[in-house]
Structure 1
Amino acid sequence: MKNLKYLFILLLIYGKYYSQNKVIIDTLSKYNYLELEDKFYNFKDNNKIKESKIIAKYYLERAKRQRKSNNVAEGYVFMQYNQNLATSLKYIDSLESISNELFDNRYPARIYLLKGKMYFDHDNEKLAFDNFIIALSHAKKNNNKRQIAIADLQIAYLNGYIGKHKETVKVLEHYYKNTEFLTPQDIEHIKISLADAYIDIYEYDKALKLIKEGLKESSKNNEFIKYNKYLILLGRHYLETKNYSQSISNLETCKRYFLKNNLDFDANYTMLYLGESYIKTNKKDKVVDNFIKIDSIIQKTNNTFPELRDVYTYLVDYYKEKKDKEKQLYYIERFLEVDKVLDSQFKYISRELPRKYDAPKLLKEKENIISDLEKKKYFLFSSLGILLLLLIALVVSVYRSKKSEKKYREIAQDLIKSINEKRPETEEKQEPEDFISSKVDDIAKTEKSVIRNISEDTVQKILTELEHFEHNELFLQKGITLSSLAKDFKTNSTYLSDVVNTYKKKNFATYLNDLRIDYALNRLVKDKKFRSYKLTVVADELGYNNEQAFASAFRKKTGTILRTYIKEINQSLE
């Protein structure tokens, strides 16, 4: 009797499911293939996965039943979306086998574009890049300008992944202005990506213009996903322009929407920017809540992104401060796992992108030049002369580069040796006030210079402030200028400049840089964790606005290159 009851329930469920499916299929049968394609992409683009899968399955079965090869191929394209990796590959392989029967110049480039996008979505940037390169080659061979554009754009996004934001902007701007072969969806994606890239290169006004346009259009058309994607960018814009309250307000709205709709990628970046905003407002618990949520999503999806290093570094430091060793160890291990993946992808794309993408573009330009020269023999000899000079320059450059590299290594080794051999000075054991007092006395004894128009008391006061500034490592703060420091010392910038020039034997800018670089030299040797930070983080901790400014100051002060110095430290410890 009990079994009959279960059987009755199963029959009810099956009957309900069958009747629902029959209604859906009867409804879909009213549409032609083009209408079904429009409906499929509308559902897919609005994250209505269940509905899009129903249409995809119906579309493919109908095309097979009616033996329409082109539509069968399109059905395989539909079916490979929103699947696990193995299932997606199965449908793309089926598409590849049937594409040989089609007289369609989109193939085989389309196969590789789909594979590239699939691998990118499954966090395999290596295979994504390789497939985009193959797709580009076939697209150029078939002169399919739309596919050339799509491949160029995908490679531009990978350029952004490795930090080549200016190159990314250049490609995106080109296709945003030349949309002849692109769909409205393509253009919208370019617009969102371009606004994001503008923020990366500090073009905030350009970014804000695109963001406001996108918010207005998507709000008007009730396009909620698109609206929230622009809202993330607005939140990031406010973060970068230091309007933290507005940043948090917008990003919290996005976070609720993306988590509710299981849009993990967008949710992660929203919470990343939220965490950074809360860091700036000193709300550590809020930072940790967002960063822990990011980690939970990463473990579920395995989709990494470069900024994850900052997420785990923060969590490690937070739990170290809390003296929670178990969680500290856990996030150290998570950092190492993610860092290994990111490092592998970053190195591969950084190495292969110029070789497989930039180099062929240069070779194409060279072919065009040679073709022109064949028509104008006058330019042939000039070209040969130029090429010879370039070759000589290249040889000289390689020789100088190797010579410089050796020199940089020797300087770095000497610096490391001097730091390791240096013994703590006796004044390090003194109390801060005694230390500062003794340092000022030393300067007073050794310096005989007299600064006109400044009283001796004023000079002594400034020297005392400078020693306090050095001893307490206040030079690591951002935004220090001669005027701001003079204001802190309650003196004027002329007096401060004269004292620094006379007693420190250097101008103020050099004095400030020397303090920071000397600090960096010592800490990089002694602090393994500090060495593991990204250079942007190191530069920020030292008070520099960006990595380039820090690297330039380091080279000017030491005579060697920052990366060489770090490399030599690590090798000396092996």
Structure 2
Amino acid sequence: MWELIYQYIQDTKKNNNEEGLLNAYKIASVYAEHPKNFKYADSALNIAKKSQNAKLLTIAYLNRGIIYMDESKHQKALDDILIANQYSIKIDDEYFNNKTKYYMAQNKIYLGLYEEANLELNSCMIFFKDNLNNSNYGKDYQQFYIYSMMSYIDTNTRIGKQIENTKLIKEIIYYLKKNKLDNYIPYFISSEGTDAYYSGNYHLAITKLSQALRLYNDYWPHFVEVFYLGMSNWKLGKKEVAVKYFEEIDKDYNETQKLDPQFRTAYELLIKYNDSIGNRDKQLDYINKLMKLDRSYEKNYKYLYTKINKEYDTKKLILEKNEIESSLKTQRTIISTILLLTILATLFFWNRYNSLQKKYKEKFEEIISIKHKKVNEVNKELASEIEDKKSSISFFKPENSFDLEFYNKIPGLNPLIVENILNKLEHFEKENKFLDNQVSKTLLSEILNTNPTYLSRIINVYKGKNVSIYINDLRLEYIIDLMKNDAKYLNMDVKELALLSGFTNTQNFSDNFQRKFEIKPSYFIKMMKENIKTSSL
């Protein structure tokens, strides 16, 4: 292994590959024993500082912080991880940002801040899981998905969320088996054991924890399993067995002078047990060790807690505050824009409504005025003219040149035929035959005993419209006269008025009414009612 590492270092130096050399020193720092591991970590950091590359600085500070954590140098570890976190924010790299967040969570676990760590780890786990298919060089999404899941499950256990863990453990074990990562499975069997312990199922806890220890195939001591096996046996009243497990933890402490704060209870129970059997020497030894541990932990706690609170959580809150303020500013801009558009739209539609009301009122007055003239004057004039024509018109040549000129407006069409059809149309109008909803161009030509082509041309020239509009206009004028002269028709609904005037359906009636009068029939009725009410005052 070291031959490859040395070769890697030499090759990257030769090629002046800063990032490659930093990575080579990073690998060396992971595999080297203390204190050489720090030497390689410092070399990697020096390269990053020389380059002033924020990404390399993130990697180097984080790497040294992790090594400090492994050596239980928690204060120095936190300093480096905080710096790495700030650089990761600068380069806007989600991978390194979540990786530093993961290690910040480990510091919070050390402090016993399980709920805070749980939130950080949940965020990390989701990020790494969502990016499992990414294969960027130097970024191990899979490994940190497993690590963050492991720690997230552990913090769930500590804050009483064991039920959630059942699903998570099933999910991760399935993933590990699918991807042939069986070496990680014992860690999650151990999590099942720890959950069982906190759920009060001590027999199951012993079974799972023992199974995990048998399945591990690595060089780690796995004192978490040892500790909880001791605790489970103690809860079952097997104190002698429990003490054997606790003594294994003490043995490691004697060799390394390192102890995870979560194992503190082991010393409390060793003191209690030796007091019960009268072994004062061991009892005193454990008391001294516990006091030393407490002093060390208290010192670390004050520094770490203040540092995390001041330089990480507070900055994170400020960042969140700025993001929220920015979001609120954007939101306010959007709301203001929407409000402005709403006001403009309201003004537009209000003006349009008022314009329509004004227009409708004008059209109404125009209709009343025209119909009044037609009913009281025009109809009388037309009736007189029709009677005169009836007494003088025959199907022979007209009596004067004026009549000839009047009926001779359609080239190729005999004026006598034109006169005949116009007379019949007057009779058709007078008899209100247009009220038959079956009347069409074809039926009307049959009624008038002419062909549809002649009829269309005559109506076009002398009425100024096509046959369909001509018939519909007669119907509309008829219903207008009824509504104007008899208020009972104003109390009918539009459907009744449509049928009464010869239309087959309401829509056709309304469309034609608005076409001809540029006003809705409902509005005309409303204005008629108001007009009658005003007139009666």
Does the pair score TM above 0.5?
A: yes
The alignment's TM-score, normalised by the length of structure 2, stands at 0.56
**Selected match of 1:111 from 60, 67, 72:** 60
Q: Offset at 1:221? A: 5.2
Q: Which residue of 2 aligns with 1:262?
A: 219
Task: Measure, in 1, the Cα distance between the counterparts of 2:3 and 2:90.
Answer: 36
Contact kept? 1:208, 1:237, Cα under 8 Å: no
Cα distance change, pair 311–145 in 1 and its aligned pair in 2 (3 A): same
Q: Which amino acid aligns with 1:115?
A: R
Cα distance change, pair 100–319 in 1 and its aligned pair in 2 (3 A): closer
Cα distance change, pair 143–261 in 1 and its aligned pair in 2 (3 A): closer
Task: Measure, in 2, the Cα distance between the counterparts of 1:339 and 1:201.
Answer: 23
Task: Measure, in 1, the Cα distance between the counterparts of 2:3 and 2:211.
Answer: 31
**Selected match of 1:281 from 226, 231, 236:** 236
Q: Which amino acid aligns with 1:262?
A: Y
Q: Which residue of 2 aligns with 1:302?
A: 257
Q: Which residue of 1 aligns with 2:277?
A: 322
Q: Which amino acid aligns with 2:19?
A: N
Contact kept? 2:101, 2:124, Cα under 8 Å: no
Cα distance change, pair 256–344 in 1 and its aligned pair in 2 (3 A): farther
Q: Which amino acid aligns with 2:28?
A: M
Q: Which amino acid aligns with 1:130?
A: D
Q: Which amino acid aligns with 2:44?
A: L
**1:233-264 CA distance string (max 9 Å, x none):** 01111111222222112212333455x74302
**1:96-119 CA distance string (max 9 Å, x none):** 232356585412122211121111
Q: Offset at 1:273? A: 0.8
Q: Where in structure 2 are the equivalents of 1:515-530 lying within 5 Å?
A: none
Task: Measure, in 1, the Cα distance between the counterparts of 2:220 and 2:328.
Answer: 54
Cα distance change, pair 54–285 in 1 and its aligned pair in 2 (3 A): farther
Q: Which amino acid aligns with 2:308?
A: L
**1:509-554 CA distance string (max 9 Å, x none):** xxxxxxxxxxxxxxxxxxxxxxxxxxxxxxxxxxxxxxxxxxxxxx
CA RMSD of aligned residues (A): 2.7
Q: Which residue of 2 aligns with 1:200?
A: 158
Contact kept? 2:45, 2:57, Cα under 8 Å: yes
Contact kept? 2:58, 2:87, Cα under 8 Å: yes
Q: Offset at 1:148? A: 1.4
Task: Measure, in 1, the Cα distance between the counterparts of 2:315 and 2:16.
Answer: 41
Cα distance change, pair 141–221 in 1 and its aligned pair in 2 (3 A): closer
Contact kept? 2:45, 2:61, Cα under 8 Å: no
Q: In the comparison of the two structures, how many residue pairs are matched?
A: 325
**Selected match of 1:98 from 47, 57, 68:** 47
Cα distance change, pair 72–241 in 1 and its aligned pair in 2 (3 A): same
Contact kept? 2:26, 2:60, Cα under 8 Å: no
Secondary structure of the residue aligned to 1:84 is: coil
1:248 aligns with 2:203: no
Secondary structure of the residue aligned to 2:160 is: coil
Task: Measure, in 1, the Cα distance between the counterparts of 2:149 and 2:326.
Answer: 37
Q: Offset at 1:91? A: 0.9
Q: Which residue of 2 aligns with 1:126?
A: 75
Unaligned runs of 5+ in 2: 132-139, 336-537
Q: Offset at 1:176? A: 2.1
**Selected match of 2:36 from 55, 71, 87:** 87
**1:261-300 CA distance string (max 9 Å, x none):** 4302xx2111111111101111111111100001111222
Task: Measure, in 1, the Cα distance between the counterparts of 2:169 and 2:42.
Answer: 39
Q: Offset at 1:185? A: 0.7
Segment drifting more, 119-128 vs 363-372: 363-372
Q: Offset at 1:369? A: 5.5
Identity %: 23
Secondary structure of the residue aligned to 2:55 is: coil
Q: Where in structure 2 are the equivalents of 1:171-570 lying within 5 Å?
A: 171-179=120-128, 183-219=141-177, 223-256=181-214, 261-264=218-221, 267-368=222-323
Task: Measure, in 2, the Cα distance between the counterparts of 1:58 and 1:224.
Answer: 31
Q: Offset at 1:368? A: 4.3
**1:352-397 CA distance string (max 9 Å, x none):** 21111111122223444665788869x9xxxxxxxxxxxxxxxxxx
The alignment's TM-score, normalised by the length of structure 1, stands at 0.52
Q: Which amino acid aligns with 1:69?
A: E
Task: Measure, in 2, the Cα distance between the counterparts of 1:71 and 1:161.
Answer: 33
**1:137-171 CA distance string (max 9 Å, x none):** 12212222222111112112222222222222222
Task: Measure, in 2, the Cα distance between the counterparts of 1:345 and 1:159.
Answer: 12
Q: Which amino acid aligns with 2:13?
A: K
Task: Measure, in 1, the Cα distance between the counterparts of 2:277 and 2:219.
Answer: 32
Contact kept? 1:251, 1:274, Cα under 8 Å: yes
Unaligned runs of 5+ in 1: 1-50, 380-574
Contact kept? 2:42, 2:64, Cα under 8 Å: no
Task: Measure, in 1, the Cα distance between the counterparts of 2:303 and 2:54.
Answer: 31
Q: Which residue of 2 aligns with 1:135?
A: 84
Task: Measure, in 1, the Cα distance between the counterparts of 2:238 and 2:3.
Answer: 45
Q: Offset at 1:85? A: 3.9
**1:13-69 CA distance string (max 9 Å, x none):** xxxxxxxxxxxxxxxxxxxxxxxxxxxxxxxxxxxxxx5x45433422343355543
Cα distance change, pair 58–210 in 1 and its aligned pair in 2 (3 A): farther
